[in-house]
Structure 1
Amino acid sequence: MSVTDKVKILAAPVCDECGVRLWNVEFKKEGSEFFLRIYIDKPEGIAITDCENVSRKLDPILDEADPITQSYYLEVSSAGLTRELCENWHFDEYMGREVILNTYKSVDGRPKKIDCTLAGYDDDNIKIIYSGIETAVNRKDISKIVIDLF
C-alpha cells in the first residue's frame, strides 16, 4: 500500500469528524524536503480554521501510526477552485464540466494541454469532448486534470 493510501485511511475519519471532505493526499519530495499535503473541501468552502482543525487532529494520529519513514512537513489546505481531479468520484462530481487535461506528450496530434469537456471514464481511459469530438485518453498518458473555471 502506498504512503498516500495509508494516509487517506487515517485522514478520512478525521476529516469527517471536522465536517470536511478529504479531497486528495499528496506526498512529494521538493528539493531535499518531503511534504505531506492533505487537500480538503466542503460545499460552503474551506476556511483557515478548517485546515487548522484537521491538522491538529491528524498530526498525533500520523505520529502514532507512523506511515512515513522520512521527516516531512504536514500541510492541510483547500482543494482550491481549480482542483485536480484524480479519483473516480471526482469525475462523477464534475461530469459534463469544462476541464484542462494535461498529457505527458502529444497524443494523436493533440496538444499536451487541452481545454475540453469531461464526458466519462472507465478503468483505463478518461473520455473527453475536444473540438466537438468525443475521444478517450489513456489514464497512463495523463499528467493532470483540473477544473477549468476561467
Structure 2
Amino acid sequence: MWDRESIYTVIMPTITTLGYELVGIECHVNHRNSLLRVYIDSDLGITVDDCENVSHQVGALLEIEKPNMGSYTLEVSSPGLDRPLFTKAHYVRFIANDISIMLYEALDGQKKLKGLLKAVLEDEIVIVVTGKDFQIPLSNIRKARLVPKIN
C-alpha cells in the first residue's frame, strides 16, 4: 500500500513526461488521513499551475495503479529554498552548501546536525559541524535539507 519506492516508480514516468523532475516524495501515514507529498522541479522553476497540473495527473494515476492506499491527501510542491535532499546525486549537486540533517541513530549524542556538506563518498557524506568532520552513512539519514543562504 504505502511503499515509497513503488509509489515513486509509478509516478515518475508521468511527471517526467509532463516535463518536470521528480525530486522526491515523502509519505506520512496515519490512521485517519495520510499525506503524500511530491516535490517537483524544472529549469524554469515551479508555479502553482504546475503543481495543480501534476496533482491532477498523479492523483488520477494513483487511483488506478495504487487503489488500496486508503484516505490520503496529495500535496505537490516545489522543493523551495530549503530543498530536501533525497538521493546521493542531490548531495553531490549541493557539495559546499550548508545542510541540516536528522539521523535515525545518534552520532556523538546528536540526532540533528547542521553544517557544511564537504564531500560525498561511496555510501556516506562528510559534513563539517563547528570545525569537526563527521562521516555519516546515507542509510542513517532520516531527513536532509539545504539551509537557505541569507544575504
1:126 is matched by which residue type in structure 2?
I
- The equivalent of 2:35 in structure 1 is 35
Q: Is the 8 A contact 1:37 1:74 kept in 2?
A: yes
* Matched residue type, 2:52: E
Structure 2: gaps spanning 5 or more residues: none
Structure 1 unaligned blocks of 5 or more:
none
Q: How far apart are the structure 2 equivalents of 1:115 and 1:36?
A: 26
TM-score (norm 1): 0.83
Root-mean-square deviation over aligned CA pairs: 2.3
Aligned equivalents of 1:101, 1:35: Cα separation in 2: 21
Query: Do the aligned partners of 1:3 and 1:68 also contact (CA within 8 Å) in 2?
Result: no
SS of the residue corresponding to residue 12 of structure 2 reads helix
Q: 1:1-150 to 2 correspondence within 5 Å?
A: 3-30=3-30, 32-66=32-66, 68-104=68-104, 106-108=106-108, 111-118=110-117, 119-123=119-123, 125-150=124-149
- Number of residue pairs aligned between Structure 1 and Structure 2: 148
- Hey, what's the Cα distance between the residues in 1 that align with 2:115 and 2:69? 40
Cα distance in 2 between the residues matched to 1:59 and 1:136:
39
Q: 2: distance between equivalents of 1:2 and 1:138?
A: 25
- 8 Å CA contact retained: 2:23, 2:86: no
What is the alpha-carbon distance in structure 2 between the residues aligned to residue 40 and residue 22 of structure 1? Answer: 5
Stretches of 4+ aligned residues off by more than 6 angstroms: none
Counterpart amino acid of 2:143?
A: K
Could you tell me the TM-score, scaled by structure 2's length?
A: 0.82
User: What secondary structure, in the 3-state scheme, does the structure 1 residue paired with 2:24 have?
Assistant: strand
Deviation track 1:100-150 (CA, whole Å, cap 9, x = no partner) reads 1233564225x4433211121332x32112233333023344332210114
The one-letter code sitting in structure 1 at the alignment partner of 2:72 is: Y
Mapped partners of 1:82, 1:3: distance in 2: 25
Name the amino acid aligned to 2:125: I
Percent identity reads 30
